[in-house]
Amino acid sequence: MTARGPARPAGYDAVVYDLDGTLVELAVDWDAVADAVLDVYAERALIPPTEELWGLLGAADDYGIRDEVEEAIALHERPGARESTRLPLGDRLAGGTADHGDAGSRPPAGVCSLNCEEACRIAVETHGLGDALVSDAIVGRDTVESHKPDPGSLLAAIDRLGAAPEDALFVGDSRSDAVAAERGGVDFAWVSDLLAE
């Protein structure tokens, strides 16, 4: 589902932003993270089902190593969040102009990310985004039982903002963001489209 007309966050009851690639760029070498997760499998003499990071995470429950895989990923995400760079939409959000209106007309906003919640919170604090976001609506992959592209985490963030899915906008930069929005019945806007306005 794409946004109704031009994507203007102020026209919604709630806005949820992806984090990495949308508001900030985490300083993470994702190939090194995948290698660390492959090491978790190897240390337990398990044959990994794939070498792709998110596929390894998805399969971790089946192998009984979810906590270990989560921690291996988070060990890279937390420092990567501290060393991250704020992106242009993050600049707009921090400055109160992400919605093309004044701060008083800005709908409540949250985050739905494939990164762990702690890394999300570190990045939000590092870049001064806390005043623009509802703290309870910062949802990482480990906050609820599912993660993108399953819509569960997105719907949890929207619920925490007190809105209905059909009255919310999700802003992201990846296909998994767009798929999560579509599956959840939530309007979606590409970060590049918002920045082009």
Backbone angles phi, psi at 77, to 5 degrees: -70, -40
pTM: 0.91
Output the tens digit of pLDDT for each of the chain's 197 residues.
555 445 578 889 999 999 999 999 999 999 999 999 999 999 999 999 999 999 999 999 999 999 999 999 999 999 999 999 999 999 999 988 665 455 556 899 999 999 999 999 999 999 999 999 999 999 999 999 888 999 999 999 999 999 999 999 999 999 999 999 999 999 999 999 999 87
Q: What sign results for the dihedral spanned by CA atoms 6, 196, 188, 18?
A: negative
Burial (0-12, 13-18, 19+ Cβ within 10 Å), 64: exposed
- Under CATH, to which class is 9-25+85-196 assigned? alpha beta
3-class DSSP state of 103: helix
* CA atoms of 132 and 149, how far apart (whole Å): 25
Sorted by where each begins, the domain ranges of the chain are 9-25+85-196, 30-82
List all residues 6 or more positions away from 160 whose beta carbon is below 8 Å from its beta carbon: 110, 134, 136, 137, 139
